[in-house]
């Protein structure tokens, strides 16, 4: 089934900076904060708390596994698409009810961690941390689905930009903020403070409106075909009902995607899997590279971390503006070229050595490109979903976006040791070539600005 259509509407009138004044775009700032807050509290900050109290490194290492919930969230995303939350869904709607429930679980579990002693109750602390991690992953799925459904395609990059801004601010709060509270007072009070900050997400969820979506006739017809197919088997009565529900929740999101895009689905999935590989390679080796060529920890903190964050947020905001003005396709092509090109700037930096001006230039190029790429790519992934299966399909795309790069990044240390930093960055720049080729193929076979999301007018 071709993704192109002669009746696809043209791009809406450009909004410019006004796109950031849309209520739902503003709301994503606070939802992004709510999504970013729990991450370090069961990650780096959690590890610092445990080590500060003298917990053994082996136990800290095992407890780091709680963060794997974010990597497997696609397994229960179909439940978020299909299952109502008792009482809450009737009062708040499909997306807001799951967001609200997840936020309550996160806040309550953070408070539980604060009230537990890791030295005497390590098992209880672990249980609370697991609940935080699964609540956080569930909230991510629900917020991603809400973001996709709440606004039109041309505003998706702006929605992503404000989301990323809120997310990054939350990372600072849960990292540096929690550490400062712990240093001045106690770890218990630090985690109580973080639990209280989850009220930002709770209040935002209560204030925003549930997005209005509908299931298309094509989607309903596909589900009816699955049910008829099952009815011809041995499944009858309640078994048929259960099987139909399971297939429509867990199988239909994937078959619908392949039916909608046909042969071009493979091009789309390959592009998703390759788009961020060069960027992930860079991020994995960044700090070891800075230290190896002679930059001080203070220079890394001030330029690469603090200044780099400002550049990332600038790039994300710029991406929102450019997509609202020019559409997804040209900015997607631009970032496909820019991402590997920034790796060449780091090859130049490796050649000239620890020059602060060189680091500033490299950080400006890399982080603005990264922020721009994040906002446009989230907008692109959002355009691929069917609102009948938003949570499931977006969870699949977001996992595919990072998993290949993260797996391959495990070998970057071996490569850097073998060839040296200059050659390393030149070689990793080549990993961006497949994404460039696939981006041009998308323009021909599945133009990003001509994609019509089922369920969105």
Which ranges in 262-389 belong to alpha helices (H)? 264-274, 277-293, 297-299, 308-326, 328-352, 356-383
Instruction: Pick the more confident residue, 210 or 216.
Output: 210
Look up the pTM and report it: 0.75
Residue 451 lies in a domain: no
Residue 316 lies in a domain: yes
For residue 202, the domain's CATH number is 1.20.1250.20
Digit-coded pLDDT (tens) for 388-430: 788 888 888 888 887 777 677 778 888 888 999 999 999 999 9
Residues 246 and 137 in one domain: no
Looking at residue 186, the DSSP 8-state letter turns out to be -
Residues 63 and 122 in one domain: yes
What domain count does the chain have? Answer: 3
Residue 226 near residue 389, CB atoms below 8 Å: no
Residues 337 and 236 in one domain: no
pLDDT band at 105 (very low <50, low <70, confident <90, very high): very high
Tokens linked to 278: 């060069």
**H/E stretch holding 412:** helix 412-419
Residue 389 near residue 252, CB atoms below 8 Å: yes
What pLDDT sits at residue 289?
Answer: 86
Instruction: Pick the more confident residue, 233 or 48.
Output: 48
Residues 438 and 345 in one domain: yes
Q: Choose the weakest-confidence range: 236-240, 299-303, 343-347, 358-362.
A: 236-240
Residue 391 lies in a domain: yes
Q: How much is the average pLDDT of 185-201?
A: 94
Instruction: Find tokens 């729990």 and name the residue.
Output: 38
pLDDT band at 229 (very low <50, low <70, confident <90, very high): low
> What are the percentages of helix, strand and coil residues in the chain, rounded to 5?
80, 0, 20
Residue 440 has pLDDT above 70, yes or no: yes
Residue 10 lies in a domain: no
What pLDDT sits at residue 8?
Answer: 40
Which among 23, 139, 20, 168 is positioned nearest to 80, based on CA atoms?
139
Residues 50 and 178 in one domain: yes
Residue 304 lies in a domain: yes
- Most confident region among 176-180, 181-185, 227-231, 350-354 by mean pLDDT: 350-354
Residues 232 and 377 in one domain: no
What pLDDT sits at residue 222?
Answer: 66
| Average pLDDT of the chain to the nearest whole number | 84
Residue 395 near residue 77, CB atoms below 8 Å: yes
What pLDDT sits at residue 9?
Answer: 40
Q: Which domain holds residue 107?
A: 16-207
Residue 4 lies in a domain: no
Longest dimension (CA), the chain: 73
C-alpha angle 127/132/138, rounded to 5°?
125
Residues 133 and 225 in one domain: no
Residue 375 has pLDDT above 80, yes or no: yes
């Amino acid at each position: 089934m071709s993704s192109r259509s002669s009746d696809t509407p043209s791009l809406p009138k450009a909004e410019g900076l006004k796109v950031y004044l849309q209520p739902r775009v503003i709301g994503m700032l606070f939802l992004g904060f709510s999504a970013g807050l729990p991450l370090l509290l069961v990650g780096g900050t959690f590890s610092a708390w445990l080590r500060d109290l003298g917990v053994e490194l082996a136990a800290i290492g095992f407890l780091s596994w709680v963060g794997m919930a974010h990597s497997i969230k696609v397994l229960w995303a179909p439940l978020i698409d299909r299952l109502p939350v008792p009482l809450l869904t009737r009062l708040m709607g499909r997306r807001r009810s799951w967001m609200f429930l997840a936020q309550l679980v996160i806040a309550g579990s953070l408070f539980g961690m604060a009230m537990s002693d890791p030295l005497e109750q390590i098992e209880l602390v672990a249980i609370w941390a697991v609940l935080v991690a699964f609540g956080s992953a569930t909230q991510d799925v629900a917020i991603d689905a809400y973001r996709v459904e709440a606004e039109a395609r041309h505003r998706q990059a702006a929605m992503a930009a404000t989301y990323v801004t809120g997310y990054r601010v939350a990372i600072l709060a849960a990292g540096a903020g929690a550490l400062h509270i712990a240093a001045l007072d106690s770890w218990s009070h630090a985690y109580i403070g973080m639990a209280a900050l989850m009220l930002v997400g709770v209040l935002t969820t209560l204030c925003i409106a549930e997005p209005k979506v509908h299931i298309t006739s094509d989607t309903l017809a596909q589900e009816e075909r699955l049910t008829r197919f099952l009815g011809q088997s041995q499944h009858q009565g309640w078994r048929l009902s259960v099987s139909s529900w399971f297939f429509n929740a867990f199988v239909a999101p994937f078959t619908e995607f392949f039916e909608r895009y046909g042969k071009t689905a493979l091009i789309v999935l390959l592009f998703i899997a390759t788009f961020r590989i060069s960027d992930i390679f860079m991020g994995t080796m960044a700090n070891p590279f800075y230290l190896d060529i002679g930059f001080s920890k203070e220079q890394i903190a001030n330029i690469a971390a603090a200044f780099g964050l400002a550049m990332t947020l600038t790039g994300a905001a710029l991406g929102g503006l450019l997509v609202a003005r020019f559409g997804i396709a040209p900015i997607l092509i631009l970032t496909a070229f820019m991402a590997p090109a920034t790796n060449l700037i780091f090859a130049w930096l490796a050649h000239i050595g620890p020059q602060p001006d060189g680091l500033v230039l490299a950080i400006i190029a890399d982080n603005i490109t990264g922020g721009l790429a994040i906002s446009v790519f989230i907008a692109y992934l959002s355009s691929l979903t069917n609102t009948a299966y938003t949570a499931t399909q977006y969870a699949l795309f977001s996992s595919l976006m990072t998993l290949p790069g993260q797996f391959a990044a495990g070998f970057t240390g071996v490569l850097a040791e073998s060839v040296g930093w200059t050659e390393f960055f030149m070689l990793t720049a080549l990993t961006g070539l497949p994404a460039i080729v696939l981006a041009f193929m998308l323009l021909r076979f599945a133009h990003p600005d001509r994609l019509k999301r089922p369920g969105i007018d």
